[in-house]
Amino acid sequence: MKHLVLLFALVCATASFAEPRVVIIDGDTVDIAGERIRILNIDAPETRGARCEDELILGLLAKERLAELLRAGPVTIDRCESSGRCTDRYGRTLARLRTAKGDLGAILIAEGLAQPWKAGGAARAQRIQAWCPR
């Protein structure tokens, strides 16, 4: 049955999984049934390569909260940006993840565990400053 679910996921842009193998990489990246997924439109603090202790602590909190949210029930994966781009420069699938609790990226942002992602060096510097204010 697992193979049928995975086959379905490859054919459709949206898929739901009841009990896949899930590995939480960090607060904005997961591996679900062997597919590396980067949550769309958020940036969570780094856990590996954190620039300061505050960022590491917040990154670990984001990672744990994401794990908690993913345990809330079946996960719906809505792949690709509205522009049609489906992978990032590292080959990760770009997707929104939802459970019965709601859009996981939106929840992490609302709880202060992630920030909205914006392109550009100035936006990146602003996110880092928020995590490493000293």
pLDDT digits (tens, 9 = 90+) for 89-101: 999 999 999 999 9
Asked whether the predicted pLDDT for residue 69 surpasses 90, the reply is yes
Count up the domains in the chain and report the number: 1
In a domain, 36, yes or no: yes
In a domain, 2, yes or no: no
In a domain, 76, yes or no: yes
Confidence (pTM):
0.83
In a domain, 20, yes or no: yes
CATH, residue 78: 2.40.50.90
In a domain, 3, yes or no: no
In a domain, 8, yes or no: no
In a domain, 5, yes or no: no
Asked whether the predicted pLDDT for residue 15 surpasses 80, the reply is no
Mean pLDDT check: name the lowest of 16-20, 42-46, 56-60, 72-76: 16-20
Asked whether the predicted pLDDT for residue 122 surpasses 80, the reply is yes
Higher pLDDT: 127 or 57? It is 57
Residue ranges making up the domain that contains 51? 14-131
CA-CA distance, 31 to 71, in Å (whole number)? 14
In this prediction, residues 49-75 reach a mean pLDDT of 95
The answer to whether the CB of 50 falls within 8 A of the CB of 56 is yes
For 101-118, b/e burial (b = at least 16 CB within 10 A) is eebbbbbbbeeebbbebe
In a domain, 34, yes or no: yes
Asked whether the predicted pLDDT for residue 11 surpasses 50, the reply is no
In this prediction, residues 33-40 reach a mean pLDDT of 96
What is the share, in percent, of the chain residues with pLDDT greater than 90?
Answer: 77
CA-CA distance, 36 to 27, in Å (whole number)? 13
